[in-house]
Amino acid sequence: MEEKTCSECHRIIKGRSDKKFCDDNCRNVFNNRKNSNDEDVLRKINRKLKRNRRILETFLGEEKMVKVNKVKLLSEGFSIDYHTHILNTNKGQTYYFSYEYGFLEIENGMMLIVKNSKEKQKTA
């Protein structure tokens, strides 16, 4: 019978024939390393999406909609390229959303910020 070695530390494995690791520590180290790159990318994207949501929420406050200068929004750290979904209206307008908070680019370098109450109802 051929001896199997641990996929992490390459020591000889004792026990069941289908074991891949010599102990839990080696299994955890192997899986953490394997998943760290994917998780890191997701963490960075989620961080940007959450920051965008927080910025939009701050500017909107208790209002239903508010106009904000695009430069001011960007200066707060808003990343215009990161959004969760897009809403195209019957009027041909395209709103970009970070979760339930959205924005629409309008004239003169202004952005219209809104909150989609339907998104709130879906999660409730």
Convert the pLDDT of each residue in 67-81 to its tens digit: 999 999 999 999 999
Please report the pLDDT score of residue 84 as a whole number: 96
Please report the pLDDT score of residue 121 as a whole number: 38
pTM comes to 0.68
Please report the pLDDT score of residue 86 as a whole number: 96
Intra-chain end-to-end CA distance of the chain, in Å: 58
Query: 119 pLDDT exceeds 50?
Result: no
